[in-house]
Structures are given as C-alpha cells and as structure tokens.
Amino acid sequence: MDLDLAWDLHPQVSVRPEPFGALLYHFGTRKLSFLKDRTLLTVVENLATSPSVRTACTAAGVGEAELPRYETALEALVRSSMLVERE
C-alpha cells in the first residue's frame, strides 16, 4: 500500500463504532471486518478527508513507530475490498 496515496471506504461499506473498535460490513461481498482498535477506526474515518493514508494516520495520532502496524491492518482492509483507492 502506498501511504502517500488517498484511499476511501468502499461506497458499499457501512461502519458501526463499537467499544472495542468498529464493525465494517460490506453489502457487496457480505463480509464483516472487526477493527479491534479505536485508533484504527479514527484512521478509517479520517481517510475521507485526508489527501493520503499517511496524513489520516498522523491525524489519528499514529506515530512513525506504529505506522507499519496500521499499514498492515489497512492492507488487510484493501484485500477484502473495504478500502478502495481514490480516483
């Protein structure tokens, strides 16, 4: 995943915040993804208003040391079509 590109939630994905993080449901693939971290939820929410994944992470308070961990999580969401690259 290129952290300097902009990504968005797939338009068919619904997000439900939960105490443990969030539930993402994709109406097209019928897949559920559990975000087990509130910071990751903030990153995902920030994507829509951020010019890049990196700025979305920074705005959520993710430091450089933690960035690879969140990148891995976001890549999992890309593989399950929860996130799509902004055109």
Neighbours of 8 (CB within 10 A): 15
Q: Does 16 bind another protein (CB under 8 A)?
A: no
Phi and psi at residue 79, to the nearest 5°? -60, -30
Q: Positive or negative CA dihedral for 74, 83, 23, 26?
A: negative
Residue among 58 and 71 whose Cβ is closer to another protein? 71
37 binds another protein (CB under 8 A): yes
Q: Residue 33 — φ and ψ, nearest 5°?
A: -125, 130
Q: Per CB under 8 A, does 40 bind another protein?
A: yes
Site string for another protein, 56-75 (x = CB under 8 A): ------------xxx-xx--
Chain residues that interact with another protein, rule: CB under 8 A? 29-37, 40, 68-70, 72-73, 76-77, 80
